Structure 1
Amino acid sequence: MTWLFPLYLLGAAAIIGPILMHLRRRPPQDRVEFSSLMFLDAQPPMPVSKRRLEHWLLLLLRCLALILLALMFARPLWRGEETAALSQNHATLILVDRSASMQRADLWPRAQAEAARLLAAATPADRLALATFDRDFTPLWTFSEDASSASTRTATANQRLQQTRPGWASTDLGLALVQATTLFTSQPGLTGLKKRIIVLTDFQEGTRLDALRSQVWPETIAVSLHRLDAPDSDNLSLSLAATTTEDNNEDDNTASLPTSSPRRPTARLRLSNTRDSKAANFTLAWEKGGAEAITGYLPPGATRVLTAPPIADESQARTLLLTGDAWDFDNRVFIAPPQPRPVHILFIGDESTRNEAASPLFYLSRALQQTPTLLPTLQVIPSSSATSIPAETDIVFTSGTPLQLPLAQALHTFMENGGMVVTVVEDTTTPAILSTLSSAPAAAIALSPAAPSQDYLMLAQVDIAHPLLRPFADERLRDFTKLRFWKHRSLSLSEAATPFLKVIASFDDRTPAILTSSPGKGTLILLTSGWHPADSQLALSTKFVPLLYGWLEAAGFHNEPASSLLVGDAFPQEANTQILTPDGHPLSQSTALTPGLYTITGARTPSSASQTQSPSPSAPISPGARTPPSATQTPSPSAPSSPGARTPSSASQTQNPSPSAQTPRLIAVNLPPEETRITPLEPNKLLEFGLPLDSPSTDLTPSPPEDRERLATTEQEGRQRAWLWLLTALLLLLALETWLSGRIRHPTPQPTYS
């Protein structure tokens, strides 16, 4: 044990004070003569040398309090042998940037060489760690490995660094520095060492530092930033600004039936030039041709938004290439072509009514039109021959035709396998048919045929939180005052039917308007009034098309185009699908991802509308194109790490014949736009976040011994806090001394006797 301030131990000599005060006895100053004592002989006072101490416990407490006070100010310190040995050395973390911008020129080889030199310059007694970072923090050599295998540090750490290459993710230096501090605090045996982090990076403008705002930087950890500069900053960058569709409906308060041809998507690109660039002339063209190239002039520091040149064949994966500068890591943008997913819809009814304006088929066939993401195909079969459902069918509609028991049984089997059935309750529908469809007891269902009435009904209660009615969650579609129903079938349910059928919309007379059930894996939707003009105004309103596509979404066919993904984003994970890399290999956690076009394929199983499944995010992705793997391979949750297009593949063949196989589709993954801002920042930018910056020197020469010793003892004593325990004991002693002193000065009065 040692003392941080040993001179304060001399204060323990103050204990002589209480001892002298206890030995001192002051003789009485006032003398009172008593007549009864006149015949007694006077005794001389007791000499000081023969006086005895009284109240030993009180004296002991007072002396011990002074000793504890001296010990507390002397600040005791217990130091182990390991700490004493390490206090003369360093604990250094070498942090190497491996983001996409480090692919320029020779930045990465220079970073590797500099890290190797720092490793070789350290002594065996030093503690070193090595890590790389982009948007994530990846340790290559830890302090614990260094403590147990310091002799193999240089060879092993250099080998791991040589096997690492720059990726395609963005740069998050702030997060890397925050996570680096945890390596110092979580590793024992670093107490007393001079701690610092050496960062090897190009420190470009797109570097994220926001994570540094969330914590106070430790004063004992210094940061040395070594900025690696490219030979020049002549860089033109290309990124995807937006993807829109032509002929957008500008009026959000009106709705119309989809057009017969899908709207063509248009890509808008952001073209930028660095401030100090000497390159200004550029050429923008499709990598494989197919359209006339765009040439132009972009001055340094300028940014321009361009529309991608048209291409004749939009069915192929497309890559836009920018030329005219020295660095091509950010000169490609991948754009996935329009890929509408096929939806096989079956209508049971009369094909001849397709062009009759009063029939349900007339409005259904015109509402289900191709969109940029969906390709509905409508097949019509008569109810007389509909004894089984075609294997490729996804959704079945019935309206205006009586349902027979064999057809109801076929529809029930179809729903048990995951299909969706939308049926209108007709006058000829019986409780037995509804019982077969929904599995509810027939005795619990009561039906009344529609009676002619001069009045109309309106929707009064709509469960907009239900997945089947999710489009009505939009306030613009929530007004039902103009939607009128002329004819409906009154349906009532007893308590025995409520577990099987749920009312999700009701009329203003409190009778059910829309009911739903979940037989097996599928979904049943019952409408008590049809959508054609003879029954209601639904087909002529702005609610019909959103309602239909809401049902398609609940069945697993989303109408929203997939957003453009960036390197590091998560792929949407879907059941029975797999993601393939641009070169056609299955995407796994160990796959090095790049920008491009990734492929997603597989067998789609329609999900029940009553059980919505949120996609589980996969690992971060990067730009690039992926091709689906074979059907026997299992899907991997990894995501791409580089730009490109990916295509998912089937992980397994479903045994359900009803759902159709999902068409392989491409997902474009591009480089994060912030990574293209390569203009270097000044290292002093880190001072704004309170980081103590060392000089940019890479020298590992240790500081003077006295400074290291003082740093070690101060840090370890602050962690032990032995003075705090001494102060606690001192306060307890003083409290006990005060109580005991009061007891002595005020003795308990003795009882008197008469």
Structure 2
Amino acid sequence: MAFLTPAFLIGLGALAIPVLIHLIQRERKRVVEFPSLMFVRRIPYQSVRRRRIRHWALLLLRAAAIMLIVLAFARPFLRKDGDAIAATGGAREVVILLDQSASMGYGSHWDRAREAARQVVRRLSRDDRATLVLFSRNAEENMRATSDKPRLEAAINAARVTSGATRYGPALKLAESILGQSPLKRREAVLISDFQKTGWSGSEDAHFPEDMTLSAASVAEASTTNLSVPSISFARAAFSGQERITVTAGLSNRGGAPLNDVPVTLSVDGHEIDTRRTSVLPHTSSSVVFPPFTLMSGNVRGNVRAGSDPLIADNTFHFVLAPSEPVALAIVDALERSDASLFLSKALSIGTTPAFQIDVTSTSRATPTTFDKRAVVVLNDTPFPPAGAGALKRFIERGGGLLVVAGDRTTWPSTEAGLLPGTLGQAVNRTSGRSASLGFLDYSHPVFEVFKAPHSGDFSAAHIFRYRALDVAPNTRVLARYDD
């Protein structure tokens, strides 16, 4: 037995009250009136205090009444293990919510979390069903509604920590949806996490009905040490015809203890440029400025590494530096109209960080050299260019970017199917009825991340009347979907 509010058990001390009442209660004196006291013998009066309990039954009744009142306020309940409950209450629908956000990579958090998930699976009875949900910023069903314990444990063992942030709202909403669709009467969800405070913003509308239960399994530690490199900024300057880069690294100490004399190292193309030492107070941020270095080649890889702690994933910030030159971009369209790419060209020409060097050509005029020395190629509602056979694949393998604006004129040969994340379908016409809108956006991707803050743009207000369907290939990350 356990109690929801055990603090009320202090009231059991009130059991002493009936005992004190019995011990200090005095007998009532009977007064007899006489017309004269001259014939009554005088006897000295002595007050005798009661030293023993005579009415045991009354005392026990009073003590029992006080004890029942105290226990009622303490709200007792009985604990039962999964097998006993399943034997008495029928089959269960269980949803295991396993946090795989970046913070779960701290120390042994992830190993203990997976072991907790395996324990939930092992406690399932023969008729129980379980769904495994992995979540970080978003939530997804990894395995749904199965009684196959080996498959569930294999899925738990195959799960990995991601780089995403913690968000509990999507996971709880998904669990509520899964349990709400279950025909079983006993529905439970188990949330396994290190319970980061930033994971719950308070704006999520997740409510479990009274007939659903939610239990939590925490793998957090009482005290943690974590130094991260959350940001890097670059200052560019010209010197003797060369570009000089000054790197400033931001540091954040999320632990409760100060970090002193921490080494912070800047490396570029595998060579250590400089190491600075700094100190960061608990729950504060700091920054380190490295001496400038010359950017010699076109693109260089680098990183800033700070200290070492049980969460190594955020101790290093990786970056790629490119010279401050315009991004060469080629737009290939059908050129049925002279202004086919006018709005796209104008929108790209607005940007200055970086600036774009835009060349527009038609499908018939495109040659393999069109893709040379370009950073990005845009196929704007055009048939697949004959010159792109093989050339586009080599362009992408060299690190080039390809953006396909699929329209009525877009075609794609089966020999180049590997360049698309799916198979193009027919055009969808929504002009006669209700227009289409964007039903899903992945705000965790850099493309949409700048729009996730309030008042940063409302994509739901955009109306789309015609578009091409796409049959998405497996293991493809979808950034946005229409409402159909």
TM-score (norm 2): 0.50
Counterparts of 1:466-481 in structure 2, within 5 Å, are none
Maintained 8 Å contact 1:100/1:329: yes
| CA displacement, residues 135-169 of structure 1 (integer Å, 9 cap, x when unaligned) | 121222322xx2xxx2xx21010111111111111
Aligned to 1:198: 190
Counterpart for residue 374 of structure 1: 326
Partner SS for 1:105: coil
Q: Is the 8 A contact 2:330 2:376 kept in 1?
A: no
CA separation of 1:275 and 1:604: change in aligned 2, threshold 3 A: closer
Q: Alpha-carbon deviations, 1:106-156, whole Å to 9, x = none?
A: 22121121211111112112232221111121222322xx2xxx2xx2101
1:304-325 alpha-carbon deviations (Å, 9 max, x no partner): 1333443333641111111243
The residue that corresponds to 1:235 in the other structure is: 226
Q: Tell me, yes or no, if structure 1 residue 167 matches structure 2 residue 182.
A: no
In structure 2, distance between residues paired with 1:129 and 1:416: 47
* SS of corresponding position for 2:189: strand
- Secondary structure in 1 matching 2:118: helix
Q: Distance in 2 between matches of 1:104 and 1:172?
A: 17
State the alpha-carbon separation in 2 of the partners of residues 630 and 557 from structure 1. 29
- 1:285 counterpart letter in structure 2: T
- Assess if the C-alpha contact under 8 Å between 1:283 and 1:324 holds in 2: no
Alignment pair present for 1:298 and 2:290: no
Is structure 2 residue 221 aligned with structure 1 residue 225?
Answer: no
Query: Could you tell me how far 1:650 is from its partner in structure 2?
Result: 6.4
Distance 1:333 1:304 in 2: 15
Instruction: Letter of the 2:353 partner, please give it.
Output: E
Does the C-alpha gap of structure 1 residues 336 and 169 become closer, same or farther in structure 2, counting only changes over 3 Å? same
The structure where strand makes up a greater share of residues is 2
| Partners of 1:173 and 1:185 in 2: CA distance | 18
Partner of 1:329: 313
2:281 equivalent to 1:289: no
Judged with a 3 Å threshold, the aligned counterparts in structure 2 of structure 1 residues 560 and 553 are, in CA distance, closer, same or farther, namely: farther
Write the distance in 2 (CA, Å) between the matches of 1:332 and 1:556.
Answer: 35
Q: Distance in 2 between matches of 1:650 and 1:222?
A: 48
Gaps of 5+ in 1: 1-83, 248-258, 340-371, 377-392, 396-414, 419-438, 440-517, 524-549, 563-574, 576-600, 612-628, 637-645, 653-668, 671-754
Query: 2:176 matched to which residue of 1?
Result: 181
Task: Go from structure 1 to structure 2 and tell me whether the alpha carbon gap of 1:94 and 1:237 turns closer, same or farther (over 3 Å shift).
Answer: same
SS across alignment from 1:156: helix
Aligned residues: 294
Contact 2:189-2:214 within 8 A present in 1 as well? yes
Which residue, 112, 115, 121 being the options, matches 1:113?
115
Based on CA coordinates, which of the two structures has the bigger radius of gyration? 1
Per the TM alignment, residue 196 of structure 1 is displaced from its structure 2 partner at its CA by 2.4
For the residue of structure 1 that corresponds to 2:321, the secondary structure is coil
Out of 260, 273, 277, which is 2:257 matched to? 277
Q: Report the Cα distance in structure 2 between the residues aligned to 1:224 and 1:375, rounded to whole angstroms.
A: 52
Aligned partner of 1:559 among 352, 366, 370: 352
Asked if 2 retains the 8 angstrom alpha-carbon contact of 1:552 and 1:558, the reply is no
Partner amino acid for 1:332? T
**1:276·1:301 contact (CA, 8 Å) conserved in 2?**
yes
Moved over 4 A (4+): 84-87, 241-247, 259-267, 415-418, 520-523, 550-558, 601-608, 633-636, 649-652
Q: 1:417 to 1:124 in 2, by over 3 A?
A: closer
**Does the 8 A contact of 1:284 with 1:295 survive in 2?**
yes
The answer (yes or no) to whether the contact 2:244–2:295 under 8 Å persists in 1 is no
Relative distance call for 1:94 and 1:650 in structure 2 (3 A) is closer
Letter in structure 2 aligned against 1:321: R
Q: Structure 1: how far apart are the matches of 2:87 and 2:396? A: 52
2: distance between equivalents of 1:630 and 1:234? 50
Q: Is contact 1:132–1:139 with CA below 8 Å preserved after alignment?
A: yes
Would the aligned equivalents of 1:314 and 1:338 in 2 still touch at CA under 8 Å?
no
Q: Which amino acid aligns with 1:207?
A: G
Q: 2:469 matched to which residue of 1?
A: none
State whether residues 379 and 403 of structure 2, in contact with CA within 8 Å, keep that contact through their aligned partners in structure 1. no
Q: In the aligned structure 2, how far is the partner of 1:199 from the partner of 1:289?
A: 44
Q: How does 1:67-466 map to 2 (within 5 A)?
A: 88-143=90-145, 146=146, 150=147, 153-187=148-182, 189-190=183-184, 192-193=185-186, 195-212=187-204, 214-230=205-221, 233-240=224-231, 242-243=233-234, 266-277=246-257, 279-287=259-267, 288-313=270-295, 315=297, 316-339=300-323, 372-374=324-326
Contact 1:293 1:309 in 2 (8 A): no
Secondary structure at the residue paired with 2:197?
coil
Q: CA deviation at 1:278?
A: 6.0
SS in structure 2 of the partner of residue 293 of structure 1: strand
Q: Secondary structure at the match of 2:152?
A: helix
SS in 2 for 1:291: strand
Pairwise CA RMSD of aligned residues? 4.5
- AA matched with 2:171: A
Unaligned runs of 5+ in 2: 1-85, 356-360, 362-372, 382-389, 405-444, 447-484
Q: Under a length normalisation based on structure 1, what TM-score does the superposition of the two structures give? A: 0.34
Change (3 A) 1:630 1:97: farther
* Counterparts of 1:375 and 1:337, CA distance in 2: 13
Q: Give the deviation of 1:394 after TM superposition.
A: 7.9
Can you list the C-alpha shifts for 1:67-93, whole angstroms capped at 9, x where unaligned?
xxxxxxxxxxxxxxxxx9995343321
Cα 1:198–1:555, aligned 2, differ >3 Å: closer, same or farther? closer
- Report the secondary structure of 2:174's partner residue: helix
Are residue 519 (structure 1) and residue 471 (structure 2) matched?
no
- Letter of the structure 2 residue corresponding to residue 118 of structure 1: V
Q: 1:113 to 1:297 in 2, by over 3 A?
A: same
Question: Residue 393 of structure 2 aligns with which residue?
Answer: 632
Whether the 8 Å CA contact 2:234–2:246 is kept in 1: the answer is yes
Alignment identity in percent? 18
Contact 2:276 2:288 in 1 (8 A): no
